[in-house]
């Protein structure tokens, strides 16, 4: 199945939403960039929880051509959650 690509308008609306969430301290979106080249590899999202059992909904992804980085990114984000963020019960799927 082919990956759906957002239109330019959908992408602009998504960027505006993430910016507003950040300003209002509701959600945080971070681009994942290659350290040397700055190439865009994927994203990490911290959003309000979808259920009361958790205090944050965490998602991350990498581009298909960088799929080998999915697990290392997950491990890095998991450590970041423990070291730098106040949440005690993140909802972040295991890899």
- The whole-chain average pLDDT of the chain stands at 88
In a domain, 54, yes or no: yes
CB 35 within 8 A of CB 69: no
Mean pLDDT (whole number) for 36-45: 94
Cα–Cα–Cα angle for 27, 29, 33, rounded to 5 degrees:
165
Share of residues in the chain with pLDDT > 90 (%):
65
Phi, psi of 51 (to 5 degrees): -135, 155
Structural domain includes residue 1: no
Q: How long is the chain? A: 95
Residue for token pair 């005690």: 88
pLDDT at 8 > cutoff 90: no
Task: Residue 51: give its domain's CATH number.
Answer: 3.40.630.30
Which of 34, 37, 38 has its CA nearest to residue 68? Answer: 34
| Count of domains forming the chain | 1
Higher confidence at residue 67 or residue 95? Answer: 67
**How sure is the predictor about 4, in pLDDT bands with cuts at 50, 70 and 90?**
low
Q: What is the pLDDT of residues 48-63, one digit of tens each?
A: 999 999 999 999 999 9
Range of the domain at 20: 8-91
Domain assignment of residue 2, yes or no? no
């Amino acid at each position: 199945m082919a990956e759906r690509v957002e239109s330019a308008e959908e992408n602009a609306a998504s960027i505006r939403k993430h910016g507003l969430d950040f300003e209002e301290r509701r959600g945080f979106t971070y681009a994942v960039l290659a350290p040397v080249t700055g190439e865009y590899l994927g994203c990490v999202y911290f959003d309000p929880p979808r259920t009361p059992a958790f205090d944050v909904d965490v998602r991350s992804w990498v581009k298909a051509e960088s799929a080998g980085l999915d697990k290392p990114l997950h491990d890095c984000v998991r450590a970041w959650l423990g070291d730098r963020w106040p949440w005690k019960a993140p909802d972040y799927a295991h890899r």
